[in-house]
Amino acid sequence: MKPKTMLFLCTGNYYRSRFAELLFNHLAAQVDLDWHAISRGLALELGVNNIGSISQDTVAGLAARGIALKVEVRPPLALSDSDLANAHHIIAVNRVEHLLMLERKFPQCVNQVEFWQVHDREFAMPDEALAQLEHNVLALVNRLHVTDQAVGASHQD
């Protein structure tokens, strides 16, 4: 059976959403969670000055948590209608930043999105933002794990 898809959204798919995606997949594998995360950006054009495929703050934040990137990292990807249609759960990492972008580009999905409040570099240092993302992702994985266990137990009755 194909795992469910968790979709993380941010502005450029370079820093916060990538960290959330990679951390989620690492933690989900540890607890055998039947979910897989992907991440996309809502306005890749705003990241024209980004260097490389992924933020070095993201790479360092993952490494500090014992997560090494094993393969060549893909470039940022823009959100598509197909991504939304295939996602079982959608999280935008910052309501203030991303609600208006979603309303303009993908109004049909706004009511399906869970919004977090993790700020970009202009308002939060990377260590602070990544710690907040880690806290939110851990809580999310725990919530999904408990839900999956409850569903599994009800199917065994």
- One of 3.90.226.10, 3.40.50.300, 3.40.50.2300, 3.90.1010.10 is the CATH number of 4-156, namely 3.40.50.2300
Domain ranges for the chain: 4-156
pLDDT tens string 54-95: 999 999 999 999 998 877 889 999 999 999 999 999 999 999
Residue 28 to residue 89: CA distance in whole angstroms:
15
Residue 106 to residue 10: CA distance in whole angstroms:
14
Supply angle C-alpha 24, 120, 130, rounded to 5. 35
Residue 19 to residue 101: CA distance in whole angstroms:
20
- Using a 10 angstrom Cβ sphere, with 0-12 exposed, 13-18 middle and 19 or more buried, the burial of residue 11 is buried
pLDDT tens string 107-147: 999 999 999 999 987 787 889 999 999 999 999 999 998 87
pTM: 0.92
